[in-house]
Amino acid sequence: MASEGYEHYTVAITGDSENRIHFGQVTRSGGFKGRREGRTVGILQPGYLPWLGFFEQLYRCDVFVLYDDVQFEKGSWRNRNLIKTSNGPQWLTVPVLLKGREFPAIKDVSISGTVPWQKKHITSISQNYRRAPFLGMYEDAFFSKLEKPWDWLVDLDLELIQWLAAELGITTPMLRSSEMDISGAGVQRLIEIILSLGGTRFYEGSAGRSYIDVSVFERAGITVIFQDYAHPVYPQLHGDFISHLSIIDLLFNCGPQSLSILTNL
């Protein structure tokens, strides 16, 4: 277990000589006086253009950790998500290089440069959301980010998450687990991360009910709160409402009202 005096982590967004993004790079600026500061902490793997529930978790937390140094899962949300078309949901997938690489961490997954995925994604979004009321408000900034020369999946995911959060009006500080210098694995590492941030509450996704042992966290002084997200119904294009799409579906259809819709406020 970590010591009683936990470090206070602050956020800086920087770059390096390889143009890697250090989103939520951790610096230490003094210790907490005690173990508990009453903070709600979220810990979640980054994804490509995440769904509404991701941003609801981000909004409800005092500090949010992007868990980028755990194993990448093929076919997961790390490099793909769904938009709505006249023919139903459509995947937008970022091609990644995995051949010859055994169980890479999310932060170490590179993007394939042999497929024109950026052009395909921009074309699909433009065609299917051209009648969305608020596409014009966001498309220039959004498409300019997609068009950048991305090498690493995590850099793409994190920059888009940062931009989307800002457009939604979410100001929760975000950190990268890979830059927190906290070792270990599994539940014990989650506990160490939460305590290092002065957390007393862990806001976990609903899927965590199947594998999180709440009693282990309680013994460390942490209350586990499972997300019970009631997905909102909002105006959409292309017929009957479809839930669990990328956040961009909400943003392009509802614009400045998106935050109040996704948080059910």
Q: What is the pLDDT of residues 41-83, one digit of tens each?
A: 999 999 999 999 999 999 999 999 999 999 999 989 999 999 9
- Angle in degrees, 0-180, between the axes of helices 153-168 and 247-254, rounded to the nearest 10: 30
Confidence of residue 265 (pLDDT cuts 50, 70, 90): low
Q: Report yes or no: 81 and 94 within 8 Å, Cβ to Cβ.
A: no
- pLDDT tens profile 118-127: 999 999 999 9
Q: pLDDT at residue 15 above 70?
A: no
As for how many domains the chain has, the answer is 1
Residue 2 lies in a domain: no
Confidence of residue 37 (pLDDT cuts 50, 70, 90): low
Confidence of residue 10 (pLDDT cuts 50, 70, 90): very low
Residue 253 lies in a domain: yes
Residue 1 lies in a domain: no
As a whole number of angstroms, the distance between CA 8 and CA 180 comes to: 11
Q: Which two tokens stand for residue 223?
A: 């209350």
As a whole number of angstroms, the distance between CA 4 and CA 196 comes to: 9
Q: pLDDT at residue 171 above 50?
A: yes
Query: What length is written for the chain?
Result: 265
Least confident of 12-16, 199-203, 209-213: 12-16
As a whole number of angstroms, the distance between CA 97 and CA 224 comes to: 36
As a whole number of angstroms, the distance between CA 46 and CA 67 comes to: 7
Residue 199 lies in a domain: yes
**By residue range, what is the domain housing residue 156?**
7-262
Q: pLDDT at residue 113 above 60?
A: yes
Q: What is the pLDDT of residue 264?
A: 87
Specify the pairing of strand 174-176 against strand 63-66: parallel
